[in-house]
């Protein structure tokens, strides 16, 4: 955990730093400095759910350590993952870790991927092959591994937000790696405003353009996109969203999926799901779920131009910046 800086403005405290291989920014209104508590909580989270920490709970489970017992954070992670797995008809699946690693997006070295190796890996992919009993993961095959990247970051946002609320903080914005939870008002006594990036290849914090701004009132937001992270082979680029039913990168027209929900763990999971299942299936899924709103940027199959789909609920939150070019 590396603390970058702490800023004070209009009785607002902004703690910034680096965690989970990305940046975080936590802004809240109050008189007490929670920097130490925030850093401790983020460390606790890493030691439960970071696959980049060799001694974390999830890493020990992946190594088939039979002594490790899950904590409350892991319990929540697995429970929500199973829920979304069932509601998405298996398209959201945390057992994709061996596939993610094979394509070079995970915590292990990239393999030479071909149809034979994918077929082999698929034999131990699927949440129906793991159970959770008495605080322990029971695998049908020891080669099964779990990947929390599609949901854990959103959960970490909720974890910090819940701590702030437990301390009586009513105005805050928690952002970790672009996943956000906002409550109350900002230092100008206005609803928090957060941006949605245009899907520009190789964009980063220094090279980004906003497509729209969302007014976020007591809600959480997560965005998933395939335009920043690619696997390239023989001149063909493949997105990092892996279809757990085929074993291959999802080849769909959605470039970016932003989901707004009551909690960030839910928003994070369904943003990933939309990237896997594609536009039409995403629209059907969103209709079947309560409490979710979406802003989807996709490619028009007829002419290759960019298009936007918005749920009715999100239209009232949007401040448009301009058309995607």
Domain residue extents for the chain: 58-139
Choose among 13, 6, 95, 2: nearest CA to 46: 2
Average pLDDT over every residue of 276-299:
93
pLDDT tens digits for range 29-70: 988 899 999 999 999 999 999 998 999 999 999 999 999 999
- The arithmetic mean of pLDDT across residues 241-264, rounded, is 90
* Domain spanning 58-139, CATH architecture: Orthogonal Bundle (1.10)
For residue 225, the model assigns a pLDDT of 81
Angle between helix axes 72-87 and 264-277 (nearest 10 degrees) is 40
Kindly provide the b/e burial profile for residues 211-225, where b requires at least 16 CB atoms within 10 angstroms of the residue's own CB: bbebebeebbbbbbb
Show the tokens assigned to 68.
Answer: 């490790």
Angle at the Cα of 89 (from 85 to 93), degrees rounded to 5? Answer: 35
Give the H/E segment covering residue 99: helix 97-102
- How much is the pLDDT for 281? 95
Pairwise CA distance, residues 248 & 138, whole Å: 26
Q: How far is it, in rounded angstroms, from Cα 111 to Cα 103?
A: 7
Q: Which residue has the higher pLDDT, 238 or 61?
A: 61
Q: 247 — alpha (psi -120 to 50), left (phi > 0) or beta?
A: left
Residue 108's pLDDT is 62
Q: How many CA atoms lie within 13 A of 293 on its CB side?
A: 17
pLDDT-derived band at 211, boundaries 50, 70, 90: confident
**In contact, 242 and 224? CB cutoff 8 Å:** no
For the cut 70, the answer to whether the pLDDT of residue 206 exceeds it is no
- Residue 113 confidence (pLDDT) above 60: yes
pLDDT of 246 > 80? The answer is yes
Name the pLDDT band for 134 (thresholds 50, 70, 90).
confident
Question: Sorting pLDDT into bands at 50, 70 and 90, what band is 104?
Answer: confident
- Tokens representing 192 are 């928090």
Q: How many CA atoms lie within 13 A of 126 on its CB side?
A: 11
What pLDDT does residue 109 have?
59
Q: How far apart are CA 212 and CA 323, in angstroms?
A: 9
**Secondary structure (3-state) at 308:** strand
């Amino acid at each position: 955990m590396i603390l970058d800086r702490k800023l004070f403005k209009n009785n607002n405290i902004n703690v910034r730093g680096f965690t989970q291989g990305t940046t975080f920014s936590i802004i809240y209104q109050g008189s007490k400095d929670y920097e130490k508590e925030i850093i401790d909580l983020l460390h606790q989270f890493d030691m439960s759910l970071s696959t980049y920490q060799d001694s974390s709970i999830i890493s020990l489970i992946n190594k088939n350590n039979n002594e490790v017992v899950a904590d409350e954070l892991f319990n929540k992670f697995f429970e929500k993952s199973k829920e979304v797995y069932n509601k998405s008809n298996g398209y959201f699946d945390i057992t994709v870790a061996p596939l993610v690693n094979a394509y070079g997006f995970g915590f292990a070295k990239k393999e030479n991927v071909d149809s034979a190796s994918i077929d082999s890996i698929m034999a131990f992919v699927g949440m129906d092959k793991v159970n959770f009993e008495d605080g322990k993961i029971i695998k049908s095959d020891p080669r099964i591994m779990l990947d929390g990247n599609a949901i854990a970051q959103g959960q970490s946002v909720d974890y910090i937000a819940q701590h702030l609320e437990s301390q009586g903080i009513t105005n805050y914005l928690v952002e970790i790696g672009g996943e956000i939870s906002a409550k109350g008002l900002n230092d100008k006594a206005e609803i928090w405003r957060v941006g949605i990036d245009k899907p520009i290849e190789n964009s980063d914090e220094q090279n980004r353009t906003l497509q729209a701004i969302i007014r976020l009132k007591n809600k959480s937001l997560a965005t998933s996109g395939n335009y920043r992270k690619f696997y390239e082979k023989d001149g063909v680029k493949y997105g990092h969203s892996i279809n757990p039913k085929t074993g291959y990168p999802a080849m769909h027209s959605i470039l970016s999926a932003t989901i707004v929900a009551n909690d960030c763990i839910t928003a994070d999971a369904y943003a990933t799901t939309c990237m896997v299942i594609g536009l039409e299936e995403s629209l059907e899924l969103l209709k079947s779920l309560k409490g979710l709103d979406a802003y989807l940027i996709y490619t028009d199959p007829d002419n290759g131009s960019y298009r936007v789909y918005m749920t009715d609920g999100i239209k009232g939150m949007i401040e448009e910046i301009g058309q995607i070019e």
